[in-house]
Amino acid sequence: MTTLTMVEAIRETLRAEMLRDERVILMGEDVGHLGGVFRATDGLRQQFGAQRVFDTPLAESVIAGSAVGLAISGLIPVFEMQFLGFSQNAFHQICQQIARTRFRTRGSHTCPITIRAPFGGNVRTPELHSDSMEPQYAQGTGLKVVMPSTAYDAKGLLASAIRDPDPVLFLEPLRGYRLVSDDVPDDDYTIEFGKLRVMREGDDITIVTWSASVPVVEQAVEQLVAEGINPHVVDLRTIVPLDEAGLVAAVEKTGRCVVVHESPAAAGFGAEVITLLQEQAFYSLQAPLKRVTAPDAPYPPPGIEGHYIPSSELVVRAVRETLID
Amino acid sequence: MSDALSPQFKPAAKSVAPHKLLGPKGKLLGTAKAPMTDAQALEALRLMMLGRAFDTKCFSLQRQGKIGTFAPLHGQEASIVGSAMALNPESDWVVPQYRETPALLRQGYPLEQIILYRQGHPHGGFVPDGIKVLQFQISLAAQIPHAVGLAWGMQLQQQDGVSVAYFGDGSSSEGDFHESCNLAGVLKAPVIFLLQNNQWAISTPREIQSAASDLAARAPGYGFPGISVDGNDLFAVYQATAEAVTRARAGKGPTLIECHTYRMWAHTTADDPSRYVDEKEEKRWGTRDPIDRVQRYLADSGNWSDDKAKAWEAEIADEIQSAFDNAAKVPPAGPEALYEHVFETPTSTLNRQRAAHLQEQ
Ligand SMILES: Cc1ncc(C[n+]2csc(CCOP(=O)(O)OP(=O)(O)O)c2C)c(N)n1
């Protein structure tokens, strides 16, 4: 067991997977010599050589598109989008090509590709870097969307992603890269997709969240507990596949639910969660379901991003309102 | 006052003459030598005739509502087949756009698959094991990065294969084309960019796609050579592709080949070219038919005759008919096909949706 930051856990998992399977190759902008702008691939080019860790030209679409051909040729590409905010330059290749290759060819060609992308705010990056775009990719039918919030989960979920026969978008919360650290077993392990993590048992209200919003919710929970409220808290870990049964059970337990995420509200993944609960947990509900999200406004300049991202105060307020109903 | 700086890199004032070997009357031009044997020319001719006969038949079936919208290859047979003939189907990949039926057939892809594809049957997307082709690509230029990835993958695994990406003049305006050329140049990837300039992208003429004098002239900007060939000349296309393949196998990197050809039929079965095509221009290109000149060439050496033409036409019609018969044996697909091959193992969400849709318990 070693205490690792999230970015260290990601790096060590990449290393372990490259040692485990020589078909695994890394590619992306600045991932080689520099080791990535956040050092997620630091030292891997030195260890595995330029034949397995590539610095590519600055061109997101062909990074994603060439991964299709690399995969069909028999390799297992893991490519980095330097920031999720720029991944839409490759949106077509990711959602229409990578995600659909298995379906279009009736299983004759497949894309065991992992796409790593840091995302999320509160790190004072210049504009256009920070957007949480997971709902857009959740509709990339054929693509799995994985969103860890701890170093332990980052390791187990990334190992599963690289070994998955289908493409996986692995989203890394930028703010958590160095702020989040926890105990990570040194031995190999994987975490099955579509199994949520119960962060805290409670029976007053269920809070559903994932990835970058997990630390916000943890802060809110401290406050709520101090007020004598006992929340049940779950981290979805993967939004595709979604742990439908786990989610329904978690909400049936308390009859109340607040969903917290960092992307805007409209057609956000919270809308999907709430619809599912309406369909499958309706008769256990005791209060309207609530969302705490960013507004339906563009991600702002860093000077005011603290007002954009859901805060723990807003989560506490939403919980109180839901408990009154 | 200072002197104006003179740019070191200037656009060419006019386009270059494309390479040609075989004239429209079937005679080798000047001192040109045939780059293929008569046996190879016959193999190519057969594929060109099959491609044209198949698309002619499909066109009338589409009019009867029996198959869906598709893009016929008429006029482009030499650029499609001449390039495919330069490949080794055992090691090399064909990455098509959507008009390249005979190139796929040469790689060993079954004709009935293409029929199923045009019928809209999901199994039409299937690629049998070991056949080195990618599925048709409908999103323009999206296939070009895939071809670069295949070439790169073969290079990394020390295989000596090459990949050929087919695409049109319109597609060469897409970012994926330029990003692909750029990456392939850096990698020296064994890929051939086979640009079929058929003068049109639906109704948009070649001049509107680019101010470059030649589309092939863009290649040096990416650090590799470009070749301009008469795309209706089987021999010129074959020779240019064979040289590009040799370069690629030797580790010397990509080549961009621009085949100057003409789309003799509508863009697709849904198009009305009378709204934009200049009849005179179309007639002029009609005198440069790619099939006719190979037949004349072979007739000169006693390898082609009217009798042979009749016999081949009958054989080809049979071959197409039996492919349609085979396609008809594939059972129609039902709603369950929607849920297959989304993932290797369906998610619980998909299983729930499938059960509800099919009213399973
Ligand atoms: C990305 C994309 N944009 C638009 C279309 C619609 N479309 C289909 S074919 C076509 C013209 C293609 O021209 P070109 O690349 O020259 O090939 P050609 O059809 O002439 O062989 C267009 C605009 C498409 N299929 N994909």
Return the CATH number at A72: 3.40.50.970
Q: Which residues of chain A have pLDDT under 70?
A: 325
Examine the fold and report which residue of A184, A215, A237 is the final residue of a domain before the chain moves on.
A184
The answer as to whether A192 is a domain residue is no
State the nearest Cα–Cα gap between B314 and chain A, in angstroms: 33
Q: What is the mean pLDDT of residues B278-288?
A: 95
Task: Write out pLDDT tens, residues B168-177.
Answer: 999 999 999 9
**What backbone phi and psi angles, to 5 degrees, belong to B36?**
-130, 155
Q: Ligand 1 centroid vs B267 CA: distance in angstroms? A: 9
Query: Rounded to an integer, what distance in angstroms lies between the CA atom of residue A282 and that of residue B135?
Result: 45
Q: What is the mean pLDDT of residues B92-111?
A: 98
Q: Ligand 1 centroid vs B170 CA: distance in angstroms? A: 6
The answer as to whether A190 is a domain residue is no
Check residue A164 and give its pLDDT: 98
Q: Is A58 on the interface with B (CB under 8 A)?
A: no
Report CA-CA distances (Å) from B88 to B83, B101, B103, B106, B155.
11, 17, 12, 9, 16
Check residue B3 and give its pLDDT: 79
The answer as to whether A279 is a domain residue is yes
Grade residue B360 by pLDDT with cuts at 50, 70 and 90.
confident
Token pair belonging to B29: 């031009």
Task: List, in order of start, the domains of chain B with CATH numbers.
Answer: 34-268+277-330 (3.40.50.970), 335-361 (no CATH)
Check residue B4 and give its pLDDT: 86
Check residue B1 and give its pLDDT: 59
Check residue A115 and give its pLDDT: 98
Give me the residues paired with residue B260 across strands.
B197, B230
The residue of chain B with its CA nearest to that of A72 is: B150
Report the amino acid identity of residue B58. Answer: C
Same domain as A296, residue A203: yes
Same domain as A207, residue A178: no
The residue of chain B with its CA nearest to that of A107 is: B341
Q: Tell me how many domains chain A contains.
A: 2
Q: Is B108 on the interface with A (CB under 8 A)?
A: no
Grade residue B58 by pLDDT with cuts at 50, 70 and 90.
very high
Query: Rounded to an integer, what distance in angstroms lies between the CA atom of residue A312 and that of residue A224?
Result: 10
Examine the fold and report which residue of A126, A158, A184 is the final residue of a domain before the chain moves on.
A184
Cβ of B139 and A242 within 8 Å? no
Same domain as A212, residue A160: no
Same domain as A80, residue A49: yes
3-state secondary structure A198-242: EEECCCCEEEEECHHHHHHHHHHHHHHHHCCCCEEEEECCEEECC
In CATH, what number is assigned to the domain containing residue A203? 3.40.50.920
Same domain as A278, residue A162: no
Same domain as A273, residue A179: no
Query: Rounded to an integer, what distance in angstroms lies between the CA atom of residue A11 and that of residue A32?
Result: 13
Which one of B97, B169, B202 would you pick to mutate in the ligand 1 pocket, going by the greatest count of ligand atoms within 8 A of its CB? B202
Check residue A325 and give its pLDDT: 64
Reply yes or no on whether the pLDDT at B55 is more than 60.
yes
Mean pLDDT of chain B: 97
Same domain as A213, residue A132: no
Check residue B265 and give its pLDDT: 95
Q: What is the mean pLDDT of residues B44-60?
A: 98
Of ligand 1's listed atoms, the one at least distance from the Cα of B268 is 19
Query: Rounded to an integer, what distance in angstroms lies between the CA atom of residue A242 and that of residue A208?
Result: 12
The answer as to whether A99 is a domain residue is yes
Q: Which long-range contacts (CB under 8 A, 24 or more apart) does B346-354 make?
A: B347/A194, B347/A240, B347/A241, B347/A242, B348/A194, B348/A241, B348/A242, B348/A244, B348/A245, B349/A241, B349/A242, B349/A244, B352/A244
Query: Rounded to an integer, what distance in angstroms lies between the CA atom of residue B357 and that of residue B361?
Result: 11
Q: What is the mean pLDDT of residues B156-172?
A: 98
Query: Rounded to an integer, what distance in angstroms lies between the CA atom of residue A127 and that of residue A119?
Result: 12
What percentage of residues in chain B have a pLDDT greater than 90? 98
Task: Write out pLDDT tens, residues A255-277.
Answer: 999 999 999 999 999 999 999 99
The answer as to whether A189 is a domain residue is no
The answer as to whether A191 is a domain residue is no
Same domain as A154, residue A13: yes
Measured between beta carbons, which residues in chain A are less than 8 angstroms from residue B152?
Answer: 66, 69-70, 73
Same domain as A159, residue A30: yes
Of ligand 1's listed atoms, the one at least distance from the Cα of B167 is 15
Range of the domain at A261: 197-324
The answer as to whether A114 is a domain residue is yes
Task: Write out pLDDT tens, residues B73-95.
Answer: 999 999 999 999 999 999 999 99
Cβ of A69 and B156 within 8 Å? no
Same domain as A282, residue A219: yes
Q: Are strands A2-5 and A181-184 parallel, antiparallel or unpaired?
A: antiparallel
Same domain as A151, residue A59: yes
Same domain as A40, residue A168: yes
DSSP-derived letter for residue B241 is H
Reply yes or no on whether the pLDDT at B361 is more than 90.
no
The answer as to whether A35 is a domain residue is yes
Report CA-CA distances (Å) from A279 to A19, A273, A275, A285, B158.
45, 10, 6, 11, 54
Query: Rounded to an integer, what distance in angstroms lies between the CA atom of residue B2 and that of residue B7?
Result: 15
Task: Write out pLDDT tens, residues A111-165.
Answer: 999 999 999 998 899 989 999 999 999 999 999 999 999 999 999 999 999 999 9
Token pair belonging to B211: 């101010």
